[in-house]
Amino acid sequence: MFEKLFKYPRVYARHRDGPLSDARESYLSHRANDGTAPNTLLRVARELLVIATEINLVVGKEIGIEEIEAAAQCWARRQQRSHRAHTQRWSHELFVQTARDWLRFLGCLREPAEIAVRFSNLISDFATCMRQERGLSSATIHNRCWHAEQFLSWYDQQQSRPFSEVSSTDVDGFLALKGTTCWTRVSVGTCAKALRAFFLHAEAHGWCSHAISAGIESPRIFDQEGLPAGPGWNDVQRLIASTNTDTPHDIRDRGILMLFAIYGLRRAEVSRLRLEDFDWEREIIRVPRPKQRRTQDYPLTHAVGEAIIRYLKEVRPRCAHREVFLRLIAPIKPISPSGLYNLTRKRISQLGIVARHGGPHSLRHACAARLVSEGLSLKEIGDHLGHRSINSTRTYAKVDMAGLREVASFDLGGLL
């Protein structure tokens, strides 16, 4: 690996003959296989030699964070004194980060002990119940546990009482605080729903009073506030048309936006798509549905198939990852759900498209609204969107204003 990075014989010899050369070269090869850019590899290689020189490392012996911090401080101070750096900050941060990643790779980093969080056992039991007994999705479990953790953290800081003495007044105070400082009514309502589920579980296990869950009230959601908000279909077509270029990012993003708009997929579902999920012979796309813990087959439309084939042939980096959609710049890795959100929101904003929420879910709403306008039943729309309950789909009936006007214009034969 050193011979690929360093062309000058003296520099190559310094890295090859330096301390722990095999361990450094092994880590650099690992980073190269993960798609790290050559310039980044060069910077890491230089820093690894400094770390191996500054810290008395022995492979197999654990090194603590405090030893890394001390060595980094000495190195940063020398860099500043020798006028190689204006401040100590960047030298210190690069040293610490690189050392932690390298030692963790070698299995030599002594990780700090986790600080015990009060009430963490309650959250763990709550999550286990939702997973094993109720069969809820991982996203729902994470969301409800997060809100329960927020409340318990606040309760621990504000009150010196045990959890068995928690009351409805405490829950009301927490929700009121969040509602007046940082959360919208919809967010407070989501939290109230999660806390209601948590306290139902707590009451069933005798952790607290039995009068709390029933007293948790959600704030009023005003008319139209809960309606799905997505761009019009003309704007969706304009968004997809904007990717009809020969640039690598447009070629990749075209397939992603089509999956959001035509199939109404969630961002987590698109990020999890793997190469084997496309059956090209049968023209089927197999979509993982995390909420249902199953996969759902869709017919692969000609336009979507062409867009994805072009991306796979011309743009997708060659690597060991099986996920379909990858980053196009190093480090090469699958695009995360948050990355899909950012690229969608950026493209919607650049085109000046007006949407209350500019992420992938707005395209899912646009897909549902279009299906409603095409006259599909709620059952058909729910199946297309992967809803488990008709209640999740019923909200889209509110947006079919053209259909409601048509109903209002019926001649009821003088009955009225």
Residue 320 CA to residue 202 CA, distance in Å, equals 45
Q: Is 379 one of the annotated active-site residues of the chain?
A: no
Q: Is 61 one of the annotated active-site residues of the chain?
A: no
Q: List the catalytic residue out of 147, 361, 370, 384.
A: 361
Q: Is 81 one of the annotated active-site residues of the chain?
A: no
CA neighbor of 137 nearest in space, from 272, 319, 255, 38: 272
Could you count the other beta carbons within 10 Å of the beta carbon of residue 70? 13
Q: Is 205 one of the annotated active-site residues of the chain?
A: no
Helix (H) or strand (E) holding 345: helix 337-350
Asked if residue 132 lies in contact with residue 114, where contact means CB atoms within 8 angstroms, the answer is no
Q: Is 291 one of the annotated active-site residues of the chain?
A: yes
Q: List the catalytic residue out of 266, 267, 316, 365.
A: 266
Q: List the catalytic residue out of 272, 364, 370, 384.
A: 364
Q: Is 263 one of the annotated active-site residues of the chain?
A: no
Asked if residue 303 lies in contact with residue 258, where contact means CB atoms within 8 angstroms, the answer is yes
* Beta partners for residue 334, in sequence order: 326
7-41 burial code (b ≥16 CB/10 A, e <16): eeeeeeeebeeeebbebbbebbeebbeebbeeeeb
- According to DSSP H, which parts of 159-265 are helical? 168-181, 185-204, 233-241, 248-263
**What are the C-alpha distances in Å from 130 to residues 125, 149, 207, 392?**
9, 15, 17, 20
Question: Which tokens is 279 given?
Answer: 């059956």
Strand ranges, E, within 8-119: 63-64, 109-110
Let me know the angle formed at the C-alpha of 147 by 184 and 222, rounded to the nearest 5 degrees: 30
Asked if residue 289 lies in contact with residue 272, where contact means CB atoms within 8 angstroms, the answer is no
* Beta partners for residue 281, in sequence order: none
Q: List the catalytic residue out of 286, 291, 327, 333.
A: 291
Sequence-separated (6 or more) residues with CB below 8 Å from residue 100: 65, 68, 109
**Long-range pairs for 85-93 at CB < 8 Å and ≥24 separation?**
none
Q: Which amino acid is at 186?
A: V
**Which amino acids are annotated catalytic?**
266, 291, 361, 364, 387, 396
